[in-house]
Amino acid sequence: MMKLIHAGLNILAFVFAAVSLVAVFDFHNGADIPNMYSLHSWVGLACVILYSLQIVMGLCVYLLPITPGALRGAFMPIHVYSGLFIFSTVIATALMGITEKLIFGLKNPKYKDSPPEAVLVNVLGLLITAFGGLILWISTRPSWKRPSEQLLSRAGAGSGSPKGSVILSVSPTTDRDNPGANSNTSKRN
């Protein structure tokens, strides 16, 4: 179930990214602004392309029931790293974009004179950076990792406990790359 939620939210985010790209190109073409002239646009397009590849590979490897478990396990570190890399790159792209818009948009007073708009955008940049750092910290902590669905289904089959009750004990020393490392997880049916 969590895989479906993860995939669904990422597909929705990709749809929003694609709509945003179309809107940006339409705006640039309508205002006679050249496309793909800045680092922000290059990195942003690279993010969208990498994100689409990440989604396609994730859907093929993790949601197709015919995919062997060994392939899923081998691909997981690459999938996790790619997701974190793309997320970090999106944060950097957002920071480049708001700075670029402010520098080109402010004429009088100029950005270097620190008008209120510049202070607001700088604070927004700090908040985006803090958000990115928090997400990266959470996603690399084993204590925040959800237990594997396979461990939940295998752990306590036939234990005789009340139906529907789930008891989870996640060890803070769980190894992210070793799904079998969390031996304290149990499910009661």
Tally the domains of the chain: 2
Q: How far apart are alpha carbons 17 and 5 in whole angstroms?
A: 18
Give yes or no: residues 116 and 169 share one domain. Answer: no
CATH code at position 49: 1.20.120.1770
Give yes or no: residues 24 and 61 share one domain. Answer: yes
pLDDT category of residue 170 using cuts at 50, 70 and 90: very low
> pTM, whole model, 2 decimals?
0.75
**pLDDT for 83-131, tens place per residue?**
999 999 999 999 999 999 998 888 888 888 889 999 999 999 999 999 9
Give yes or no: residues 73 and 136 share one domain. Answer: yes
Q: What confidence score (pLDDT) does residue 154 get?
A: 63
Give yes or no: residues 126 and 173 share one domain. Answer: no
**pLDDT for 125-146, tens place per residue?**
999 999 999 999 999 998 888 7
Give yes or no: residues 100 and 181 share one domain. Answer: no
Give yes or no: residues 40 and 58 share one domain. Answer: yes
**pLDDT for 29-87, tens place per residue?**
999 989 999 999 999 999 999 999 999 999 999 998 899 999 999 999 999 999 999 99
Give yes or no: residues 94 and 168 share one domain. Answer: no
Q: Which range marks the domain in which residue 85 is found?
A: 2-140
Task: State the DSSP H helix or E strand holding residue 166, giving kind and residue range, or none if neither.
Answer: strand 166-167
